Amino acid sequence: MDKMNLYLVIALAPLVGSLLAGLLGKVIGRKGAHIVTILGVAISFVLSCGVLYDFWTGKGQVFDQNIYTWLTMGGLDFGIGFMVDSLTALMLVVVTSVSLMVHIYTIGYMSDDSGYQRFFSYISLFTFSMLMLVMSNNFVQLFFGWEAVGLVSYLLIGFYFQRDTAIFANLKAFLVNRVGDFGFVLGIALVLAHFGGSLNYADVFAAAPGLKDATIQLFSGVDWSLMTVTCLLLFVGAMGKSAQFPLHVWLPDSMEGPTPISALIHAATMVTAGIFMVSRMSPLFEMSTVALNVIVVIGAITALFMGFLGLIQTDIKRVVAYSTLSQLGYMTVALGVSAYSIAMFHVMTHAFFKALLFLAAGSVIIGMHHDQDMRNMGGLRKYMPITHITMLLGSLALIGTPFFSGFYSKDSIIEAVHASQLPAADFAYVALIISVFVTALYCFRQYFMVFWGKERWREHKGHDHHDDHGHHHGLAPTDNPKESPWVVTLPLVLLAIPSVFAGYLIDHFVYGGFFKGVIHYNLEAHPTMHIMAEEFHGWFAMTLHGLTALPVILSALGVLTAWFLYIKAPHLPAKIVSSIKPIYTLLENKYYLDDIYFAVFAKGSRALGTLFWKVGDSFIIDNCIVNGSAKLVGFVASGVRRFQTGFVYTYAAAMVFGVLVLAVCWLWPLIVG
């Protein structure tokens, strides 16, 4: 199979499965739907592994070719094409591997759902959309994949469309992403206007060095750096997709969708699109120090302040959701300090352990008869041993424990920030260091509340909550949880393996030249990776050094604090909350950002629309122009109607009068003269 056909199969196999499950779902049935979709994603995964292996061994060659031109306008071609290099190869494996695990997991999790075939069709379509995004060689196809993942996320977040909360959540995600995408489109427009009149990556990157010092005037008399404005607008798109402050508000609400899609969105697809895009655009971002500083600040704010919100969550899925926001902040900071390879390495390790944590949370929800409130859990480790062990492994990876994958990527980001010479790096370093402790605290708060302590569901006679399926459920006081079926636990075990061991690949992925020629660095202006390479002596030496480093110490303190508060002295959290009530209220209301957006933008937009409706449409157009003209015609007609008597003498008199008027007009000059 030649390269072109190989890449077409990788991209289209999930699409074929999606179409079969979606259009022929009733014909092929539930079993047929999961077979065709899993088969499609499995084919993509196997072939993607082959592509990654070629680049890993140095045999892979960069593929950059247009496949199809669907529009030519003014000498500009809008086409579909693939760029497959080491960066693409890594993302292909990440996307397809996590998607495959989610597909298998869904068989068990959604077994009793009436929308079974529809859900499989959606998640397979989601996979196809992400593959088209990461394989694109031009901005047009990138934008297609960008919008496609947004569309499918809308369908999946609102999967239970009978619920008002789901409708609100998917609409919120859609609108917030439109804000980011508007900036993204403007950035692409600037690229088209100033970067040689082409939207192909190769052409844009070739033109970029000559535009390093170019300026544009957004306002008369004020010069702006073209590269800075372009990069910031592109990054606004990344802020929407990758849920960065202040466009992060949609991501926690995405928990309204079923747990499998939460894992897919948060681990490998939509939220990683922004990180991938900035890494792909490294030749542009490296030319704007201003843009990089902005990225660092935004990422640091997201990493720290979203982590704080994870401390007060009681829904098991929302704890993991806020950890995603925080970790995306880490990745964004890494991009800002020009550590693109480390950011992408964290994308990979994070995809595995975050998918593991979400799917393990889903397994707990199944065991609890779809009760998601951690306050009703406790002591589950003896009833659900596989879920317990795998979630523990995922938690250890998340907090950056040595010898676990998250340590190597997360600790490398912190070290990269410490080595950076950007003005914003000092603020980011402090934020990330504090975030390390916060992450360990909320992560193991969840772990201890769920798997240790008293079996609290036995103390509750009834539950008032919604599960993933929109039902009221929960264990009775006499019920015992059961371990999930093998289709649920198998993906957990398989994801636990890279969650532990994937970090050992840091030597090759980050420092071994895997991204050479793909990710570009301006080492003269931003020498971060040069400094990091000089200090790196292999993963084992990094581990030994990390054992006594500040991040690991803070992680350990976070775990101990969680153990003390929720196992040793479980009465203390309530006392702490009562003593810091204003801060707790601030966190509970998510810094009031949702309220501000609703009051200013949502109600403001509605008020503006009402103004245009009442004043513009009703008063000016309807009453003044349409009805006013009609009334004027009616008034004139009513006056004219009085002269239309139907009698001859009336018309004769009018004719005589008219003749007299003409005669006067004709004779008047003679009379006057």
Q: Cβ-count burial of 292 within 10 angstroms (0-12 exposed, 13-18 middle, 19+ buried)?
A: buried
- The better pLDDT of the pair 90, 651 is held by 90
Q: What is the mean pLDDT of residues 348-367?
A: 93
The single-letter code of the amino acid at 364 is V
Structure tokens at 664: 């006067």
pTM: 0.89
Q: Taking each helix axis from N to C terminus, what angle separates 116-135 and 270-280, rounded to the nearest 10 degrees?
A: 10
Q: Taking each helix axis from N to C terminus, what angle separates 25-56 and 86-109, rounded to the nearest 10 degrees?
A: 150
Q: pLDDT value at position 469?
A: 47
Q: What is the dihedral sign for C-alpha 151, 157, 161, 165?
A: negative
Q: Residue 468 pLDDT > 70, yes or no?
A: no
Q: Compute the C-alpha angle 377/378/380, nearest 5°.
A: 100
Distances (CA, A) of 647 to 485, 652, 658: 99, 9, 17
Q: What percent of the chain has pLDDT over 90?
A: 55
- The better pLDDT of the pair 581, 637 is held by 581
- Could you count the other beta carbons within 10 Å of the beta carbon of residue 666? 9
CB 432 within 8 A of CB 129: no
pLDDT band at 438 (very low <50, low <70, confident <90, very high): very high
Q: Residue 467 pLDDT > 60, yes or no?
A: no
Among residues 505, 527, 510, 212, the alpha carbon closest in space to that of 340 is found at 510
301 alpha carbon, distance to own chain's centre:
17
Q: Which residue has the tokens 């957990």?
A: 492
pLDDT band at 1 (very low <50, low <70, confident <90, very high): low
Average pLDDT of the chain?
A: 89
- Transcribe 174-207 into DSSP letters: HHHHHHHHHHHHHHHHHHHHHSTT--BHHHHHHH
Give the tens place of pLDDT for each residue, 599-624: 888 788 888 888 887 887 787 888 88
Q: What is the CA radius of gyration of the chain?
A: 31
Q: What is the mean pLDDT of residues 461-479?
A: 60
